């Protein structure tokens, strides 16, 4: 891992088009500003971990009986406006 020291207001540049700037330091909280092209997804690591945990909990045996939705018949499934009829 590359480790760099930065002062408040200083930045690092990644791959020429991603800029990471130290915006504020307050005790053990560091505010970081990130400028990146729209094509570069930026997320907190917790989001990845949360989704991964949720996936592991969701993976199931197919014999599982499915619960019934409340008022399931009242609201018909939205037909997404695509051409093929996948579900």
Residue 45 interacting with another protein (CB under 8 A): no
**What sign does the CA torsion over 9, 13, 17, 19 have?**
negative
48 binds another protein per the rule CB under 8 A: yes
Strands 11-14 vs 18-26: parallel, antiparallel or unpaired: antiparallel
Contact 36, 17 (CB under 8 A): yes
Instruction: Return the range that interacts with another protein (CB under 8 A); candidates 2-10, 14-22, 26-34, 78-86.
Output: 78-86
Residue from 2, 4, 29, 47 in contact with another protein (CB under 8 A): 47
Q: Which is nearer to another protein, 2 or 85 (CB)?
A: 85
């Amino acid at each position: 891992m590359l480790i760099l020291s930065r002062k408040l207001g200083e930045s690092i540049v990644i791959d020429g088009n991603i800029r990471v700037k130290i915006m504020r330091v307050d005790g053990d909280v560091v505010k970081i500003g990130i400028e990146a092209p729209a094509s570069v997804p930026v997320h907190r690591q917790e989001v990845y971990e949360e989704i991964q945990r949720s996936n592991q909990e969701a993976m199931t045996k197919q014999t599982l009986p499915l619960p019934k939705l409340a008022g399931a018949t009242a609201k018909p499934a939205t037909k997404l406006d695509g051409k093929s009829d996948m579900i």
